Amino acid sequence: MYEQIFEELRDQIVAGKYMPGERIPSEKELGEAYSVSRITSKKALEMLTQEGYIVRQPGRGSFVAEDYESGGGTPPSRAGAASKRRRESGKLLIGLVMTDFGDSYGTGLVFGMEEASREHDSYLILRRSLGETAREQEAIQGLLEIGVDGLIIFPAQGEYFNAEILKLVISEYPFVLLDRHLKGVSASSISTDNVSASKQLIHYLFGLGHTHIGLMTTPPRDTTAIEERIEGFIQAHAESGIAADRSLWMENITATLPAAFVPENKKKEKEHIKRHLAAHPEITALFAMEYNIARLAYEAALESGIRVPEDLSIVCFDSPDDAAGSLFTHMRQKQNEMGRLAFENVLKLRNGESVPGKILLDAELVEGLSAGPVRNGGLAMKHK
């Protein structure tokens, strides 16, 4: 029904029934006219907005775009009138929606995109979702309404991609996913080869004599990057003939998620980690999915009188460097290259060029101060 309403209003605008600047029926009026819910009529208006036929003004209503020429002219592109003006001037605007960013991960992505935008005489506009699907949807809708020429999306962690991303796929809008990919859906994505990177890190620990390795992660919930790192963890164990003991894993760490990363939650999470280490003295190493988890584990260990790396080794993905180098042994992702490729591929998609559906980049193993050979039986001897 919302597609039918969209098509009928679009045809009326093209035919000149509604002129540029003229108000069109509201969500409520459309709902009554077509005997549908306001949710359905709202979707139709959102589609008209995204296609550039109308502009929506909070508190006033929806109006035909001022620079749309009715009477059978070429329909506006999805990017809208603002995008059209920028194309005429040669300037492009690419929207970026990402969960959050920091020194360990994210800043390098933004740096790579911003550098690419300068090289292509374009601009980048950023919105953070803080890992919340509702914020992500709002950001995508808002960027489309102002007429961006393409989108780069670092999706929120969750069981499902939000409906706005699926709409982009269906409408063949130029966008690229970062650090995630859509299962079974054709959408361009760029990420690290997480399976290989994870395997490399675990084999490194095996080489140091560690065979009882705890895995620490936020809930996987169909987040492809995490799933792939877990898969690499399991494959490395299988290749070495070492059993992957799932009882050593912590799979529900939530304090490091963007919206929950506050002192109170971090304190509670450290207590959970302390109890886990005490309950599993056989653990000699921890594999953390990300730097912030590794940091919590490191602090929990020190507060428990556990020395790193003498009693316990900790490794992770990504870690900021300081004057003394990197604290954690980690897999360093090629953030700048990922960001640059994402920006350039959005431009190619916008120009009708084909790009690879899924690009995987290698990561680099960086030795830090947090990992060492098994000594004195690890935590088991310490607890004795």
Residues 349 and 234 in one domain: no
- Residue positions counted in the chain: 384
- Residue 57 in any domain: the answer is yes
Angle at 335 between CA 332 and CA 337, to 5 degrees: 120
pTM of the predicted structure, to 2 decimals: 0.74
pLDDT of residue 90: 64
Contact residues for 208 (Cβ-Cβ < 8 A; gap 6+): 285, 313, 371, 372, 373, 374
pLDDT of residue 242: 96
- Residue 352 in any domain: the answer is yes
pLDDT of residue 15: 81
Residues 278 and 355 in one domain: no
Tokens of 217: 């992660």
| Closest of 201, 205, 300, 207 to residue 250, by C-alpha | 300
- Residue 264 in any domain: the answer is yes
- Residue 306 in any domain: the answer is yes
- Residue 69 in any domain: the answer is no
| Closest of 10, 6, 365, 362 to residue 190, by C-alpha | 362
Is 39 strand, coil or helix? helix
From the number of C-beta atoms within 10 Å of its C-beta (0-12, 13-18, 19+), residue 354 rates as exposed
- Residue 73 in any domain: the answer is no
Residues 344 and 314 in one domain: no
- Residue 96 in any domain: the answer is yes
Q: What is the CATH number of the domain that holds 30?
A: 1.10.10.10
Q: Of 64, 90, 105, which one is at a domain's C-terminal end? A: 64
Residues 214 and 199 in one domain: yes
Starting at the edge strand found earlier in the chain, the sheet holding 122-128 runs 122-128, 92-98, 150-153, 175-178, 189-192, 358-361
Residues 204 and 57 in one domain: no
Residues 40 and 133 in one domain: no
Residues 84 and 124 in one domain: yes
Q: Of 40, 64, 88, which one is at a domain's C-terminal end? A: 64
The continuous run of DSSP H or E covering 325 comes out as strand 325-326
Residues 278 and 323 in one domain: yes
- Residue 71 in any domain: the answer is no
pLDDT of residue 293: 95
Q: What is the CATH number of the domain that holds 304?
A: 3.40.50.2300
Residues 147 and 19 in one domain: no
Rounded CA Rg of the chain: 25
**Total domains present in the chain:** 3
Contact residues for 321 (Cβ-Cβ < 8 A; gap 6+): none
Spell out the per-residue pLDDT of the chain, length 384, in tens.
888 888 889 888 888 888 888 889 988 888 888 888 877 888 888 888 878 888 877 677 888 887 665 444 444 444 445 555 554 556 789 999 998 888 778 899 999 999 999 999 999 999 999 888 889 999 998 998 888 889 999 988 665 567 788 888 878 889 999 988 877 677 899 999 999 999 999 999 999 999 999 999 998 776 888 999 999 999 999 999 999 999 999 999 988 877 777 889 999 999 999 999 999 999 999 999 999 999 999 999 999 999 999 999 999 999 987 645 578 999 999 999 999 999 999 999 988 898 988 999 999 999 999 999 998 655 554 544
Residues 273 and 210 in one domain: yes
Residues 35 and 91 in one domain: no
Full domain range(s) for residue 164: 80-191+335-361
| Single-letter residue type at 302 | L
Confirm if 3 and 43 have CB atoms less than 8 A apart: no
pLDDT of residue 74: 44
Residues 295 and 179 in one domain: no
